[in-house]
Amino acid sequence: MLAIKTLAPKSVIFRRLVRLMGNQFEISVVGSDPSWADERINDAIAEITRVEKLLSTFSDDTPINAINRNAGIKPVKTNPEIFRLIDRSLKIAELTHGIFDITYYAEKGADNFEANGTATAVRKINSQNIVLDAKEQTIFLKEKGMRISFAANIKGYAADRAKYVLQMQGVSSGVINAGGDLLTWGANPDNEPWTIATADPAQKTQPFAEVEISNMAIATSVNIGKQTAVINKKYSGMINPKKGFPVSRIKSVSIISTCGEMADSMAGPVMAMGVNAGMYLINQLNQLACIIIDDHDRVYTSKDVSIIN
């Protein structure tokens, strides 16, 4: 009797580009069945959309706006997911000496630092003015006019959640590109690690090295050099959000972590700290690494980074 062996279909990468959270997301899964891959990518999109709606400040009926409306008035009971996210954000704020901060100041008629005066705004922009009650699961913003926003880490958190959903659906390998920030797990179809080519921000088409990022996340912050850029009522680029004056001489920072939320959260603070302080902080922490390029195009890497030249 003749035995016929059926070869299993070769695994390939299925990709889809989609606009989410105001950014270009690319979701990639490794598999052999196009219909299965399409369904899994739909699952990831649904989860990212859920996170966006949960943490949005654009609709009056969102949990975040309920917290913001009651600033200086009363604590607001929230769900465990938001409570844990705010709790982690406060820990990162403490870790970065207040540079990472989900709070901002937006009293009526006051749209930015210039309208309020930096000293007044800085006093009210302070994570220490967020009061958490773990037993009651409540959040209280102590200062009237104080607000919270997850603009600094929502992409990373959404990528983490999408990865979790995909893994629960049996996706053993994949990549989520969240507006340039990457989260990977497993290996590519050739069973090789996922790698990225890192480049000077001024010469993006000229990579200087490759970095293995399998089962890791990487988020990059680029210094746009515009001192007037305002994001969520807080200065970005070359402005230290706590001091209101230029401090950074870093061109770009790439943070590598085991989760997207942490990588996303730490990129901005390291940018604001500068090369020495930023590198010192990263080297003290477990499961975090970074690559920094300064304004003289010098490359600095933390102790745990393995660059393939």
The CATH number covering residue 144 comes to 1.10.3980.10
- Lowest-confidence pick of 55-64, 147-156, 231-240, 284-293: 231-240
Q: Give the pLDDT of residue 10.
A: 86
239 or 284, which is more confident: 284
Q: Are residues 303 and 201 in the same domain?
A: yes
Q: In what order do the strands lie in the sheet with 195-199?
A: 195-199, 207-212, 307-308
- Average pLDDT value for residue range 181-197: 89
Looking at every residue in the chain, the average pLDDT score rounds to 83
Rounded-to-integer distance, Cα 191 and Cα 182, Å? 19
Q: Are residues 204 and 269 in the same domain?
A: yes
**Res. 212: pLDDT tops 70:** yes
6 assigned to some structural domain: no
8 assigned to some structural domain: no
Kindly report the CATH number assigned to the domain that includes residue 219: 3.10.520.10
122 assigned to some structural domain: yes
CA distances from 216 to 199, 212, 259 (A): 19, 9, 7
The last residue of one of the domains, among 118, 148, 178, is 148
Question: What count of other Cβ atoms lies within 10 Å of the Cβ of residue 112?
Answer: 16
**Res. 156: pLDDT tops 80:** yes
**CB within 8 Å of 286: residues ≥ 6 apart:** none
Domain range for 94 is 63-148
Count of domains forming the chain: 2
117 assigned to some structural domain: yes
28 assigned to some structural domain: no
Q: Are residues 209 and 301 in the same domain?
A: yes
Band the pLDDT of 249: cuts 50, 70, 90.
confident
Nearest to 241 by CA among 155, 143, 152: 152
